[in-house]
Each structure stands twice: as structure tokens, then as C-alpha cells.
Structure 1
Amino acid sequence: MDFSNATTYIKVKDHSVSGEEFELLLDADLELLKTHPQPAPGKLGRYYESDDYISHTDGKRSLFEKIYHTVKQKALRDKIKLIQNFQPQKGKLLDIGAGTGDLLAVAKANGWDIAGIEPNDKAKKIAESKGVVFMEGLEAIADESYDVITMWHVLEHVPDVDAQISELKRIIKPDGVIIIAVPNYRSYDAQYYGEFWAAYDVPRHLWHFSKTAIEKLFARQGIKLIKVLPMKFDSFYVSLLSEKYKNGKMNFVKGFLTGWKSNRKASRNMEYSSHIYVMKIAKN
């Protein structure tokens, strides 16, 4: 992707770890934002060194974490239901960025042949205690191996999106399903919080997607978008964190109201805080 002619969309800080400031550059044709500068791969790990990075822990220390993990249980059931709606025949499921392995553990209990990919050793160790099996990387996977591939809030962390999409196309079966979930910077809560919007999460999030960006990026590699679905809880979760970044503390009432307003507006314009994209290889 060529961002040589991109314009600055907004400047944002890393609110959770380093306090450093980054630009988000806009590719107007793709409606895609790029974090600039992007840390070198060898230096990116230090930006994840926080006990507050919830996807890498099963911790329930604070009220916020307890709420997160309670809601997560319903979200897991909904994800399995979604997967099986689009791929009724249970087969091989790969979850890229599996975190602490909860989705794969539930999928395994529901009869799926599961595997995960997760770069964080701490999260991987927790997942392995739940019976999750890991692949070392996509390059070790044979062509047309999986019936379903999922990436839940992972694509925004990937340095080379085009190469990642190419690998997804290589390892998915011809009739398989690819499910991607990412934040949506065009949502109301993103516009409301601006530089304090927690889902920018720079520099861990290297890319920031719109619906147009996802559809175009996958289409140019022969993958067709067949369904866009909302992740309604994300507006509340992100708004609560954004309140903390903006005002120094979590205002549960204001965060909840902003999340509710974001979902209400999205019910009309279909711009939710996060979206789930369901895709298949296009038929010639």
C-alpha cells in the first residue's frame, strides 16, 4: 500500500503504555488509516508490556475486568453460533491471534478440530492449559487446510496486511469462510472521542479500517465480502476506556450513554464501533 500521498487524519497518543504521539495517515481511496511511524517489528513488543492488555490475561482484578470477562462468555457463544451459521459442517478451525484460547476451547467442546496462532507467550501458556494446540506460523500450514479462519481484533496489529490476506486465501479451503473483526474509525464513538478514542490504540494498532477498506483490500485478492455484522458491546467497552483516557478516570454512566448513542446512530447508518466481516473466495 502506497501512503506517499496520504494526508494526516488525526494525531493520537499511546495512552496505555508509552505516552508517545503518532500520526494517522489517510489513504482516501481505500478509506484506510495507517499509524505513523510504525515501530520496527523487533521493537513492537515493548508496547504490549502492560498488565492492562486484557486479551493476554484471564485476570479479574477490577470491576472493569470482571464486566469484560462476564460479557466475554456471551460473546464466545455468539461467535460459535455465527461460525456455525456460515459453516454448518464442523471441520477445521484456525483462530489467528487466539489470545488466552477461550474461543478455541469453546469450539473444541462443540466438536471443531481446532488450532491457534498467538505470538504472546504468556497468553499462549494460558491457552495451552485449556487444551488449545498452536501452529508456529502461517507458513507452516499447507494450502487449503482450514474450513474456517477467524481473526478477532487482530488484522489491525499485522504489519503487512496484503501479505496476510494472501496467506488467508492460500490456507482456506475453496468453500471455506474467513471471519475478520476490526474497529471502525467511522463510528460515532470514534468521532465523539477523537484523539482519545481507545480503539486507535497506537502503536499496537498499525491500521485503522472502514468498511470500504476491508471490502477493497480483500476484493483485490479475490476474496468477496458476503456479510457485515455489528459488535454492539464494543461501543460500550471502547467508550469506557475512552472516558478514562480523556478524563483520567472511568465514568461508567457517561461511557455507557455514549456507547448506547453510538449503537443507536449505527442502527441507521450501519457504522458500528466494530464490525465482523464474513468473507469467502470469489467464484469465477
Structure 2
Amino acid sequence: MTDENDLKVIDHSVSGEEFTLIKNSEFGFLETTPKPDIDKLPHYYESKDYISHTDSRRNLVEIIYHIVRGVSLKKKVQLIDEHASDGKILLDIGCGTGDFLKVAKENGWYGYGIEPNAHAREIANKKTNQGVFDTDELLKFKEHRFDVITLWHVLEHLPDLENQIEIYKKLLKPSGTLIIAVPNHKSYDAAYYQEFWAAYDVPRHLWHFCQDSMAALLSKHFLKVVDVIPMKYDAYYVSLLSEKYRKASFKLFRAFITGFKSNSKAKRSKEASSLIFVVKNE
């Protein structure tokens, strides 16, 4: 059931279809409604503009994306180094074209990746010495195998949400760390752009999290958030895409100002455009 506060959002990337964001009564995150059937979900990723499945640099948005990714990869490796437990065995879920996994391996990690998109997986395997597998392989890993499991902007895509969390918990060592990065719908840029906020990215994003809803979801599975880290670059990139979707004008300057405001306000509110949740067993 919808009400007047539910937000209607258009798929700007592929289909042009309209979806509604409805608050989940148990956890408090927003749900994309209606959810596409699982067998139809891949259709919504069939776009040459779906950037995490390509290494292309055809336009300003893609160039900026790759510049930012290059900088953020080093910070991501620093983060997993800080939270390594007994060893350095990594599983990267939804690894895309494999850049994070490649850099992690170059810095002493022994890692695997899971990537459902065949084209992205092929690119990733060229970078990682065939270390990336389809989702079917996820259940073949031994329990308590990994020191760190990472999901960089992946959890919001997964249809079987709670089952996936249980799988990751079983695959982690008891002292291991789960690292989850997701957009934050309580950020300033989300409030500013409303239905044009690019990080809603319906229907590829099935769930839309904030700090409270993430903590509630994980707590049900006896996991706790031990740290929350802002992803400052995301505010600028998401604002750039959001300006494009508004179509009033595609202004780099306005996107920069909005991203700057979002990061400035987040210093006090702690509600950055995207957040990294560092998660441990309770």
C-alpha cells in the first residue's frame, strides 16, 4: 500500500519505467516497488552506460568516475588492511570489472570475486588471474574462510537480502569483518534532488538504506556496526548524474556546489551521500 509520502522515481538509465519507494515496516529502509521478477532483473543492466560493468571513458561522467575510482581504491585497501583479523583472505561481492580486487592483490591480499554479469566478469578475470566467479560459486566456499568480505555498492542490488547476509556471516571467520558501502537516502543531496537523485537508480537498487535501517537489518542477524565512514567523493559524482537526470541543465558547477554542501552538512549530521559500514559479529 502506498501513501502520499511515498516517492515516485523513474528509471533514467534503461527503461524509463516509474517505480515507487515504500518504507519497509520491519527495518525502515525504502523498497523499490514493484520489484522486477528475478529473471527480468538482468534486462535493467543492459546498457552501455552502466558504468560499473565497463572500463570505457567516453564522456565527462565516465572520466570523472574513473578518476575518483582510482583515488578511492587506495583508501579501500587501507580500510581492509586496518580490519584484517588473522590473515588477508578477501571476498569481494559484486566486484564489477575487478579493479578493487586487483589492487588488493597487489597489496598482499589473497582474494576472490563474485560477479554475475558475464561481460564484467570476463574483464575482471583478465585483471585477477581468473579469480572472479559467477554467483553459483558463492555457496561452494568453505565456511569461516574469509578475513574480510566487501560489498561496495552491492547490497542494494541483491533480491534475496536477508539470505545473502546469512551467507556472508557463515563465510566470515568469527573475528572477520564485513564491509558494506551503500547510498544514504537521508543525505543532503538526496533531499535536494528528490526523485532525480541518481543513487535511487531504480529498479537496479531494490533497497535504499540509512544508518538506522542498516543497523536494524544487521542486528536481526546478530551483526553490529562498529564504524560508519563517509564516502565524500560520492556526493560529487551522484550530484553530477542527478543534474543530468533533471534535464533542466547539465551544470558541472551546480553539481560541485551541491556535493560540497552535502559533505559540509554531513560533518555535523553524519549523513553523507554514501556510507561505509564496518560490521562485526555481535
Specify the TM-score bucket, using the shorter chain as the normaliser: over 0.9
Is structure 2 residue 85 aligned with structure 1 residue 96?
no
> What corresponds to 1:229 in structure 2?
229
Query: Structure 1 residues 36 and 5 mapped into 2: Cα distance closer, same or farther (>3 Å)?
Result: closer
For 1:139, give the aligned amino acid.
Answer: L
Query: Structure 1 residues 107 and 202 mapped into 2: Cα distance closer, same or farther (>3 Å)?
Result: same
Deviations 1:202-231 (A, max 9, x none): 000000001011111111111111000000
- Aligned with residue 117 of structure 1, among 88, 103, 114: 114
Structure 1 position 91, deviation (Å): 1.8
Q: Judge which range, 220-229 or 28-37, deviates more.
A: 28-37
For 1:94, give the aligned amino acid.
Answer: L
Query: Structure 1 residues 5 and 12 mapped into 2: Cα distance closer, same or farther (>3 Å)?
Result: closer
Structure 1 position 66, deviation (Å): 1.4
SS in structure 2 opposite 1:24? strand
> What corresponds to 1:27 in structure 2?
24
Deviations 1:180-222 (A, max 9, x none): 0000000000000000000000000000001011111111111
> What corresponds to 2:161 in structure 1?
161
- Aligned with residue 134 of structure 1, among 132, 135, 145: 132
SS in structure 2 opposite 1:129? helix
> What corresponds to 1:41 in structure 2?
38
For 2:226, give the aligned amino acid.
Answer: I
CA RMSD after TM alignment? 1.6
Structure 1 position 88, deviation (Å): 6.2
Is structure 2 residue 81 aligned with structure 1 residue 84?
yes
Deviations 1:22-48 (A, max 9, x none): 010112552200000000010011111
Give the Cα–Cα distance (whole angstroms) in 2 for the partners of residues 250 and 73 of structure 1: 24
Aligned-residue sequence identity (percent) comes to 51
> What corresponds to 1:149 in structure 2?
149
SS in structure 2 opposite 1:202? coil
Give the Cα–Cα distance (whole angstroms) in 1 for the partners of residues 277 and 208 of structure 2: 15
Aligned pairs, number: 279
Give the Cα–Cα distance (whole angstroms) in 2 for the partners of residues 266 and 9 of structure 1: 24
Q: Is the 8 A contact 2:112 2:131 kept in 1?
A: yes
Give the Cα–Cα distance (whole angstroms) in 2 for the partners of residues 124 and 135 of structure 1: 7
Q: Which runs of 5+ in 2 are unaligned?
A: none
Q: Which runs of 5+ in 1 are unaligned?
A: none
Give the Cα–Cα distance (whole angstroms) in 1 for the partners of residues 91 and 168 of structure 2: 10
> What corresponds to 1:13 in structure 2?
10
Q: Is the 8 A contact 1:8 1:23 kept in 2?
A: no
Q: State the TM-score, normalizing by the size of structure 1.
A: 0.94
For 2:101, give the aligned amino acid.
Answer: L
Q: Is the 8 A contact 2:121 2:133 kept in 1?
A: no
Give the Cα–Cα distance (whole angstroms) in 1 for the partners of residues 139 and 276 of structure 2: 25
Q: Is the 8 A contact 2:61 2:241 kept in 1?
A: no
Structure 1 position 7, deviation (Å): 7.8
Q: Judge which range, 131-140 or 107-116, deviates more.
A: 131-140
Q: Is the 8 A contact 1:87 1:148 kept in 2?
A: yes
Give the Cα–Cα distance (whole angstroms) in 2 for the partners of residues 51 and 250 of structure 1: 20
Give the Cα–Cα distance (whole angstroms) in 2 for the partners of residues 48 and 29 of structure 1: 29
SS in structure 1 opposite 2:174? strand
> What corresponds to 1:171 in structure 2?
171
Is structure 2 residue 65 aligned with structure 1 residue 60?
no
For 2:75, give the aligned amino acid.
Answer: D
SS in structure 2 opposite 1:16? coil
Structure 1 position 90, deviation (Å): 4.2
Q: State the TM-score, normalizing by the size of structure 2.
A: 0.95
